[in-house]
Amino acid sequence: MELCPLVKNILLLDSEGKRIAVKYYSDDWPTNAAKEAFEKAVFAKTQKTNARTDAEITMFDNYVVVYKFVQDLHFFVTGGENENEIILAAVLQGFYDAVGLLLRGTVDKKEALENLDLILLCLDEIVDGGIILETDANVITGKVASHSMDAGAPLTEQTITQALATAREHLTRSLLK
């Protein structure tokens, strides 16, 4: 197991460090309090940096953390101290891009919370028990968003009617709120 690249957690926090969606794959943080302490520390350590164009990286308590921010959303991926940084960055990029695709360009906290189901499914498709499942954002969104098409086909190949259907669905949903 130790030779396989492993992800310790994936975090999506807001601009105050509060949770939007998080997923832990390691026993390093056994309690919710430990998890929150970790999130608080990571957030405090990174919030002053500018991680808006390129993914940034830091070492922290013997963990490598790669992160990227957009609007009021903060994306983090954590790995062990000896993990290949570039693999972690690939996971981060996959998550970041997939969320961008799923939220159709409007990537902010409000939109993320309104589509929390999609974000949670997205996390479920990226990593399974610490092992990387997929890093290609198109494939990830394909698995999350398309409910009834042949697997493997990227989102871009969705039929127009399908795309319209989902769009309408989203519209009515927000009107209903």
Partner 1 sequence: MAQPFLKKDDDHDDEVDYSPFLGIEKGAVLQEARVFNDPQLDPRRCSQVITKLLYLLNQGETFTKVEATEVFFAVTKLFQSRDLGLRRMVYVIIKELSPSADEVIIVTSSLMKDMTSKTDMYRANAIRVLCQITDGTLLTQIERYLKQAIVDKNPVVASAALVSGIHLLQTNPEIVKRWSNEVQEAVQSRAALVQFHALALLHQIRQNDRLAVNKLVSSLTRGSVRSPLAQCLLIRYTSQVIRESASNTQTGDRPFYDFLEGCLRHKAEMVIFEAARAITELNGVTSRELTSAITVLQLFLSSTKPVLRFAAVRTLNKVAMTHPIAVTNCNIDMESLISDQNRSIATLAITTLLKTGNESSVDRLMKQITTFMSDIADEFKIVVIEAIRSLCLKFPLKHRSLMSFLSNILREEGGFEYKKAIVDSIVILIRDIPEAKESGLLHLCEFIEDCEFTYLSTQILHFLGIEGPKTSDPSKYIRYIYNRVHLENATVRAGAVSTLAKFGAMVDSLKPRIFVLLRRCLFDTDDEVRDRATLYLNTLGADGAVEDMKEFLFGSLDIPLVNFERSLKNYEPSEESFDINSVPKEVKIQALAEKKAPGKKPTGLGGPPPAPPSTIDAYEKLLSSIPEFANFGKLFKSSAPVELTEAETEYAVNVVKHIFDGHVVFQYNCTNTIPEQLLENVTVIVDASEAEEFAEVASKPLRSLPYDSPGQTFVAFEKPEGVPAVGKFSNMLRFIVKEVDPSTGEAEDDGVEDEYQLEELEVVAADYMLKVGVSNFRNAWESMGPDCERVDEYDLGPRENLAEAVNAVINLLGMQPCEGTEVVPSNSRSHTCLLSGVYIGNVKVLVRLQFGIDGPKDVAMKLAVRSEDEAVSDAIHEIVASG
CA dist., res. 162 & res. 166, Å (int): 6
Supply the minimum distance, in Å, between the C-beta of residue 100 and partner 1: 18
Where do runs of H (alpha helix) occur along 74-145? 85-102, 109-114, 116-126, 137-145
CB 15 within 8 Å of CB 46: no
In the set 128, 159, 164, 167, which binds partner 1 (CB under 8 A)? 128
Where do runs of H (alpha helix) occur along 32-80? 32-46
End-to-end alpha carbon distance in the chain? 46
CA dist., res. 115 & res. 171, Å (int): 12
In the set 103, 121, 137, 155, which binds partner 1 (CB under 8 A)? 121
Interface mask toward partner 1 for 9-48; x: CB under 8 A: ----------x-xx----x--x-x--xx------------
In the set 71, 134, 154, 163, which binds partner 1 (CB under 8 A)? 134
Interface residue list for partner 1 (CB under 8 A): 1, 3-5, 19, 21-22, 27, 30, 32, 35-36, 49-50, 54-59, 66, 84-90, 109-110, 113-114, 116-117, 120-121, 124, 128-129, 131-135, 143-144, 147-148, 150-152, 177
